[in-house]
Homo-oligomer: A and B are copies of this chain.
Amino acid sequence: MARRQPLRFDPIDEASRNWRKAGWADAAPGMALVTSVMRTHQILLGKIDAALGPMGLTFARFEVLMLLDFSRTGRLPLSKIGQRLQVHPASVTNAIDRLELDGLVERIQHPTDGRTTLAALTDEGRRHVREAAEALNTTVFTHVGLPGDQIASVVDSLTELRRNSDDFVEPA
Contacts and interface: CB of A to CB of B under 8 A. Distances in A.
Nearest to A84: B11
Contacts of A136: 27, 31
Contacts of A22: 133
Interface residues of A, number: 71
Contact of A144 (B18, B84, B145, B161): B161
A165 interface: yes
A44 interface: yes
A171 B43 contact: no
A78 interface: no
A112 interface: no
A171 B34 contact: no
A70 B18 contact: yes
Contacts of A11: 84-86, 168
Contacts of A4: 83, 86
A129 B155 CA distance: 33
A108 interface: no
A41 interface: yes
A45 B38 contact: yes
Given A4-B86, A30-B142, A34-B144, 16 more contacts: A7-B83, A7-B86, A8-B169, A9-B168, A10-B159, A29-B141, A30-B141, A34-B44, A36-B155, A36-B162, A37-B37, A40-B158, A41-B41, A144-B161, A145-B160, A146-B157
